[in-house]
Amino acid sequence: MFDIGIGELLVILIVAVVVIGPKDLPLAMRTAGRWIGKMRRISAHFRSGIDTMVREAELEEMEKKWKAQNEEIMRRSAALTEAEAGAPVMTGPPPVETPQSAEPAPDAPAPKGNADV
């Protein structure tokens, strides 16, 4: 991570023993370990967030590309079918039919009002 060799580590350890003292060195090492662990967790969390954003952007781009390719394939297929059949082909979703006036069921009572007698 920092490219620290054995020689540099030895110099750091000697300076730490002289400055901090051998009595407080284990506590200082534990504290430094905790801080390093926190920094690693934060950087891993940040990195995973960036990776997620990149993946989502790539997926959106691929979905747009697939949609365009699908539309082109549907257009070509419709044009070929029209050429073969000689009639236009519907390429979109079917139209939604709304029910016209519904006839009453045979078991339903006749509506009250103007009835022919």
Query: Which residue, among 104, 79, 45, 60, has the nearest Cα to 112 in the 3D structure?
Result: 104
Query: pLDDT tens digit string along 1-42?
Result: 567 788 998 898 889 889 988 898 889 889 989 999 999 999
pTM, full prediction: 0.45
Distance of CA 3 to the CA centre of its chain: 36
Residue type at 62 in one-letter notation: M
The secondary structure of residue 57, as a DSSP letter, is: H
pLDDT at 104 (0 to 100)? 57
Q: Say whether pLDDT at 51 is over 60.
A: yes
Query: pLDDT tens digit string along 62-102?
Result: 999 999 999 888 888 878 877 777 766 666 676 777 766 55
Quote the CA–CA distance of 67 and 63 in Å, as a whole number.
Answer: 6
Q: Any idea where the domains of the chain sit in the sequence?
A: 25-85
Q: Which residues contact 75 (CB under 8 A, 6 or more apart)?
A: 91
